[in-house]
Amino acid sequence: MFMVGSIMQMQVRLKNKNKNSLVFVFILLLQLFFNNNLFSITLGSDTTVATPQAYYNFTGPDNRIANYTMMDNGFSLSDSTVSCSWDSIFDCSKNIHLYRGQLFLQRDLCLSGNLGIGGKIWGSSYTIEFLDKISTVDFTQDFTINRANLFFNSNVNITKFMRFVDNCKIDGAGRYLNLGAGARINVASNSRLILENLKILNFSGNKFFCDSNSSNIVFRNCKIFLDGNFDFSKGSILISGNTEIYGNNKTFAYSSSVGSTIDSYSCLYFAPGTIFSYSPTNNNRSLIYMNDISSILYIDGASLISTKTGLQLTRGSLILDNGVTFSAYGTAFSESFSLGGSADSSLNVNVFASANINSYGAISIDNSENNSDILYQSDFTTETIGQWTADALYGDISRWQIVGDEMRTISGTFLTIIYRGNLDWSNYTMVSLVSRGISNPMGIVFYYKDENNYWRYLNESGYMLVRGRFLGNWVNAADLADSAFAVDDTVNSQWYWYKAQVDNGLISVKHWLYGTTEPVDWEFSTYDNRLLGGAIGLMGWDNSTNFKDVSVTRN
């Protein structure tokens, strides 16, 4: 009797327990069904044009705005857990509020409103274009921009923190970028920010800064208006085109420990009353690099100041105009201003008739006659990644870094190219040490004109090929078959010399193992006059390609 009663009680308890479980599951299903936070939404259609959407607030992760969706009233992400992909071919006509959520661009976004409440934008190299329907673009919240381009058709105000990661660009189309009191523009490590066609107001303090020396800022056809002193303490700068700095009695200080470059056919101009202070944290006095005679430092009624490190200017052109002041705190010639150097690094100095030069401290002029055949030579120990440019199609400067005396690819699993030098170089010989960790192509680039026109000498498909791009098409030199070239005998983790000579259409190449004697004969020569000049570059395919001791000499 006791056993029967106990069993009956157990059955009742089990039935109650099952009933409670069913109720719990039912309630949970209702919550799942009605709770948008657990569902992703695709708004609109990929096949037909939908009617304009009302203002929409996305909740939950992995939402999407489809191809033919018309967002005439803007949209928002509800909080930091929400993400949304933009894939519409239409403009967004009103504001976008991210509320610390994430927006992923799957195509360009044309915006007639503002980016309101901040968050993170993953650009995948697409562009957000702010249309001219708004008089001023205001960034009043914190944003992180990853691999995206911003194009403005109106003036811009920034009053908060903006962080740029990977390769990003701001193109102002000649308009004003105003930096408010709280503005802080930050470039992440291994990242590059291009500032193009901008007039930058209230540039001072820590409103622009880099995370590390692997960060790079490019000023391309910009005007910078200082409203206080500015110190560039980390990273590198590339001056591309004409960049002008204004600010009476305001200082632009360079204290970074790595080098910056004035590119070919480019000019860095300091207006009357401005002060350029060279004060690196190390004792390197050659951190301002000029590619060639077309690289110009223009001191117009401005002051040039150096700490005891001194400052040496070589290769390019120095223009002195109006009342120019040199102030060097060092007393020895090794701590002075040094203009020029050896035969391969002479400085072209132009002193205008209106110039009135005041000097406080020593100035050393050592301009040997420049009859050297060396166009470029580097062991990478005094160079920065910012002195190279990523190929527009197969580049990505963040996938390269300089470590010690080596240039290395550091990430990615496909082709990447960087280049430097004068696009008008011709009839030269390029030599580089090259090594790889795994069996993927590697090579040197010569006669680089742009992303659609260049030659490469590389190991690929079992051969040592001269293969490149001409008018955007992949071609072999002289349109020869791969089998016409030498067989690839590369051994992983070994260093090889790669050598290419170009001379009035004649292309000759060879390679040999480091530590062995250079072969007398070229392994391959052919005539191809489709390209007759250009810069030099490096090419890798993965994160294991290394380069050392690159040199370029006239034939």
Would you list the DSSP string of 70-134? -BTT-EEE-STT-EEEE--SSPB-S-EE-TT-EEEESS-EEESS-B-S-EEEE-TT-EEEE-TTS
Length of the chain in terms of residues written: 555
- Closest-CA residue to 151 (of 166, 135, 130, 176): 130
Q: What is the pLDDT of residue 131?
A: 85
Mean pLDDT of 101-121: 90
Quick check: 342 pLDDT over 70? no
Q: Which of 340, 365, 390 is the last residue of a domain?
A: 365
Mean pLDDT of 382-400: 79
Which DSSP category does 49 fall into? P
Distance CA 206, CA 364 (A): 34
Q: What is the mean pLDDT of the chain?
A: 86
Q: What is the pLDDT of residue 33?
A: 44
Q: Which of 365, 383, 404 is the last residue of a domain?
A: 365
Residue with tokens 């657990």: 38
Residue 280's pLDDT band, with cuts at 50, 70 and 90, is very high
> 206 with 90, same domain?
yes
Residue 517's pLDDT band, with cuts at 50, 70 and 90, is confident
Distance linking the first and last C-alpha atoms of the chain? 111
Structural domain of residue 425, as residue ranges?
374-554
> 504 with 401, same domain?
yes
- Closest-CA residue to 447 (of 430, 465, 472): 430
Higher pLDDT, 333 or 273: 273
Q: Is residue 27 part of a domain?
A: no
> 443 with 343, same domain?
no
CB distance 456 to 467 below 8 Å: yes
Q: Is residue 40 part of a domain?
A: no
Give the SS3 label for residue 429.
Answer: strand
> 114 with 262, same domain?
yes
**Residues 6 or more apart in contact with residue 14 via CB below 8 angstroms:** none
Instruction: Using DSSP bridges, classify how beta strands 242-246 and 524-527 pair: parallel, antiparallel or unpaired.
Output: unpaired
Instruction: Using DSSP bridges, classify how beta strands 56-58 and 348-351 pair: parallel, antiparallel or unpaired.
Output: unpaired
Return the H-helix or E-strand segment holding 34. Answer: helix 2-34
Quick check: 388 pLDDT over 80? yes
Mean pLDDT of 308-320: 88
Q: What is the pLDDT of residues 420-452, one digit of tens each?
A: 988 889 999 999 999 988 878 889 999 999 999
Q: What is the pLDDT of residue 373?
A: 74
Quick check: 158 pLDDT over 80? yes
Residue with tokens 């190279």: 388
Q: Is residue 244 part of a domain?
A: yes
Q: Is residue 444 part of a domain?
A: yes
Higher pLDDT, 199 or 93: 199
> 303 with 413, same domain?
no
> 331 with 399, same domain?
no
Mean pLDDT of 161-183: 93
Q: Is residue 26 part of a domain?
A: no
Q: What is the pLDDT of residues 46-105, one digit of tens each?
A: 888 877 778 899 998 999 999 998 888 999 999 999 999 999 999 998 889 999 999 999
Quick check: 26 pLDDT over 60? no
> 309 with 217, same domain?
yes
Q: Which of 365, 399, 429 is the last residue of a domain?
A: 365
Residue 390's pLDDT band, with cuts at 50, 70 and 90, is confident
Q: What does the DSSP assignment read for 340-409?
A: --SGGG--EEEE-TT-EEEEES-EEE--------EEEEE-STT--GGGSEE-TTT--GGGEEEETTEEEE
> 286 with 427, same domain?
no
> 131 with 171, same domain?
yes
- The CATH number linked to 517 is 2.60.120.560
Q: Is residue 23 part of a domain?
A: no
Cβ-based neighbour number of residue 434 at 10 Å: 26
> 218 with 235, same domain?
yes
Quick check: 31 pLDDT over 50? no
Quick check: 208 pLDDT over 60? yes
**Residues 6 or more apart in contact with residue 378 via CB below 8 angstroms:** 549, 550, 551
Which DSSP category does 29 fall into? H
Distance CA 144, CA 161 (A): 8
**Cβ neighbourhood burial of 543 (10 Å; 0-12, 13-18, 19+):** middle
Q: Is residue 3 part of a domain?
A: no
> 347 with 387, same domain?
no
Q: Is residue 11 part of a domain?
A: no
Distance CA 251, CA 231 (A): 8
Give the SS3 label for residue 33.
Answer: helix
Residue 8's pLDDT band, with cuts at 50, 70 and 90, is very low
- Closest-CA residue to 146 (of 166, 162, 127): 166
Residue with tokens 């290394």: 546
SS3 of the chain: helix, strand, coil, percent, to 5: 10, 50, 40
What is the number of structural domains in the chain?
2
Q: What is the pLDDT of residue 6?
A: 40
Higher pLDDT, 463 or 382: 463
> 433 with 472, same domain?
yes
